[in-house]
Structure 1
Amino acid sequence: MGKIIAIANQKGGVGKTTTSVNLAASLGVLEKKVLLIDADPQANATSGLGIDVETIEMGTYQLLEHSSKAEETIMKTESPNLDLIPAHIDLVAIEIELVDMDQREYMMARAIRHLKDSYDYILIDCAPSLGLLTLNALTASDSVIIPIQCEYFALEGLGKLLNTIKSVQKIHNQKLDIEGLLLTMFDSRLRLSNQVVDEVQKHFDEMVFDTIIQRNVRLSEAPSYGESIINYDAGSKGAANYLSLAQEIITKNDA
């Protein structure tokens, strides 16, 4: 039985998609069967895995409006053991279309629940908002990873996200857990980066992953080539960081 993990933070630019793509690829390399669901209308996870967004005919939009079965929307990727449900800009419209529907928060949960039998991990790359798309992802998930960048406004908005998670737990999904807080874009030369790490670890203690994702040029370059960091430069610091995170998650969940 697989585990569904949402990667969420309503702040943009914190490393959500970078984490979704590279964690998924790393879990695949470590011989776990992985499905990545792109639930962000910007479709960066889709293009970051080398898929031409303009060619998408079925993806997260059709999955959520239940016009296609989940199996029909799944694509193979170049990454070992990694499948993808892609996104397209038309996903922007789904929030408006879902508003009047009954049980609108459960559309994704219903569509993907049975896929847990086919995968070890299902990761959902969420949009940078706390709208219906992200709510659907949290309602469908067993846990959530929250990326936090090691910069000045790191903790701004975190309280709001944690409150959203609490209300999802209370109303829609009692089993939703926090998989962990992931510190990203760490630069050891900057005092501020070190201060953010200390502050987050002091406030949240065991909720914080041991692995810290460091700033890495290769990590920034990889999406423009449509590749995960594992395919692009397996010897880079970025690849080592995400393989370490994948191993940490596997160890925690196999315990």
Structure 2
Amino acid sequence: MQVWAVANQKGGVGKTTTVVSLAGLLAEVGYRVLIVDLDPHGSLTSYFRFDPDEIEHSVYDLFEQSEVTASKFRSLILETSHESISLVPASTALATLERKAVGKEGLGLQVAKSLRFVREDYDYVLIDSPPVLGVLMVNALAACDHLLVPVQTEFLALKGLERMVRTIEMVNRARKNKLTYTIIPTFYDRRTQASVSSLRELHKLYADQVSNAVIPVDTKFRNASIKGLVPSSLDAGSRGVHAYARLLRGLLERRKQVQVDG
């Protein structure tokens, strides 16, 4: 089982779109996929028509007890509109976690510990993270094998990326195995100088980490979210889906190379 976290310390960069797009593409080639919503806003949960304000049991339950059992974790998993994609939903109660976590130890590994119970059930796990460095993002970073960092191709997003890279460096000082990451340029519009110059700057500053796949502005993403479908199910031929398919090919090739080298 491979775990990918999608994170950035800036909102509105396409994290949830990245999770649902990659999950859909992975599922459509036969992989069993689990998606985990760690964002108190619950965008990923809402995408699949569950209400974060009303849901009775969610990923928040993992933080209410020091030890989580396999049956407890499995009871949180919901089916989605795609038969090969399952969801651990978020609830708005997650917004209270930082305050309640003060003085508690070990909360940073709750998700990693829980995922071990379903290691044989899924091929890929994708985690949607909040845009804030705290207990929830720490859980995502601790649980993942590889980190995906969507970055909107505009100046302020590049400044936000600097904070995320510093966080990765901090995490790597504490991790036994170095956390690798891929930067994904998003909301690209080749007609605007802002997008073109920002993409150029990304490649200049982070050449080895930037994906060759550039995610364009595409209204089909919004149309898919309105229907609660993964983008590739709504329109497999759209520009956005093609871009995510290219991203996925690169990620799978990278994983294969890591396995060969390892």
* Bin for the TM-score computed over the shorter chain: over 0.9
Q: Name the counterpart of 2:43.
A: 44
Q: CA deviation at 1:80?
A: 4.0
SS in 2 for 1:122: strand
Q: Name the counterpart of 1:13.
A: 12
Calculate the aligned-residue CA RMSD, in Å: 1.8
* C-alpha separation in 1, matches of 2:132 and 2:120: 29
Q: Name the counterpart of 2:260.
A: none
Q: CA deviation at 1:196?
A: 1.1
Q: CA-to-partner distance for each residue in 1:12-52, whole Å, 9 max, x for gaps?
A: 11111111111111111122211110000111111112334
TM-score calculated relative to the size of structure 2: 0.90
The match for 2:210 among 208, 211, 223 is 208
* C-alpha separation in 2, matches of 1:29 and 1:3: 17
Q: Name the counterpart of 1:34.
A: 33
Aligned length: 253
* C-alpha separation in 1, matches of 2:124 and 2:179: 15
* C-alpha separation in 1, matches of 2:105 and 2:117: 21
Q: CA deviation at 1:162?
A: 1.4
The code of the aligned residue for 1:237 comes to R
* C-alpha separation in 2, matches of 1:134 and 1:243: 26
Change (3 A) 1:207 1:251: same
Q: Name the counterpart of 2:181.
A: 179
Identity %: 33
TM-score calculated relative to the size of structure 1: 0.92
SS in 2 for 1:27: helix
The code of the aligned residue for 1:107 comes to Q
> Are the equivalent residues in 2 in contact too, given 1:49–1:228 (CA < 8 A)?
no
Q: Name the counterpart of 1:127.
A: 130
The match for 2:153 among 147, 150, 154 is 150
Q: CA deviation at 1:9?
A: 0.4
* 1:141 equivalenced with 2:144 (yes/no): yes
Q: CA deviation at 1:140?
A: 1.5
* C-alpha separation in 2, matches of 1:181 and 1:98: 30
* C-alpha separation in 2, matches of 1:202 and 1:64: 40
The code of the aligned residue for 2:146 comes to S
